[in-house]
């Protein structure tokens, strides 16, 4: 008997996220799609089930877009670095480290809006895996690759902010 389809799919996604042999541009697009598609489904379900759960983002659209699209991906990536460093001291598996990081970031995002953590958990698993894999080559590359994937992930919410203003 073969493995269950979900396990095979997850194994394949992890293989794609672990492969940093291609160009960073190719990796960023691949990782972004891996982060985006499941998070869109979770976001739609959460929005339909809990319409009041959207994050309380207020202010001029230009500032929100700059913050969501440019500042938060770099800032959160820089904050992710020491979080991952600490988690690696306690958890041997890189999947476990990425999962613990995703839970941590989900909890932090839930402080702004309770259900928001559900929406960001999967992307932060992808971001954390991205960082851990690129860090094997160089920490600077890990920061850049992770922030770029995060920026791509935040592009749709940034566009939504512009559309709503």
CA angle 72, 78, 84 (to 5 degrees): 120
Is the predicted pLDDT of residue 158 greater than 90, yes or no? Answer: no
Identify which of 161, 164, 157, 149 has the alpha carbon closest to the alpha carbon of residue 43: 157
Q: Give the pLDDT confidence score for residue 160 in this predicted structure.
A: 78
Domain range enclosing 80:
5-164
pLDDT band at 153 (very low <50, low <70, confident <90, very high): very high
Task: State the pLDDT at residue 155.
Answer: 92
pLDDT, position 120: 94
The pLDDT of residue 102 is 98
Give residue 55's pLDDT: 67
Spatial separation of the C-alpha atoms in residues 122 and 134, rounded to whole Å: 18
Query: According to the model, what pLDDT value does residue 125 have?
Result: 98
Tell me if 69 sits within 8 A of 55, measured CB to CB: no
The answer to whether residues 113 and 55 touch, using CB atoms and an 8 Å cutoff, is yes
Q: What's the pLDDT at 33? A: 96
On whether the pTM is more than 0.85, the answer is: yes
Provide the pLDDT for residue 64: 82
User: Residue 61's pLDDT is what?
Assistant: 75
Domain count, the chain: 1
For residue 113 the two structure tokens come to 């809006």
Rounded to the nearest integer, the mean pLDDT of the chain is 91
Could you report the per-residue pLDDT of 46-89, keeping only the tens digit for each?
888 887 776 666 777 788 888 888 999 999 999 999 999 999 99
pLDDT in tens, 97-119: 999 999 999 999 999 888 888 99
Give the pair of three-digit tokens for residue 159. 């566009």
């Amino acid at each position: 008997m073969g493995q269950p389809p979900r396990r095979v799919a997850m194994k394949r996604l992890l293989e794609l996220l672990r492969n940093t042999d291609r160009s960073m541009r190719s990796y960023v697009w691949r990782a972004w799609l891996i982060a985006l598609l499941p998070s869109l489904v979770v976001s739609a379900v959460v929005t339909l089930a809990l319409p009041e759960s959207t994050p309380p983002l207020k202010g001029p659209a230009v500032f929100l877009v700059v913050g969501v699209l440019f500042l938060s991906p770099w800032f959160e990536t820089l904050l992710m670095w020491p979080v991952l460093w600490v988690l690696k001291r306690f958890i041997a598996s890189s999947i476990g480290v990425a999962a613990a990081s995703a839970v941590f970031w989900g909890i932090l995002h839930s402080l702004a809006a309770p259900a928001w953590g559900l929406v960001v958990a999967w992307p932060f698993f992808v971001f954390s895996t991205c960082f851990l894999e690129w860090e094997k080559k160089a920490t600077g590359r890990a920061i850049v690759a992770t922030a770029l994937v995060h920026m791509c992930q935040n592009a749709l919410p940034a566009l939504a902010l512009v559309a709503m203003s």
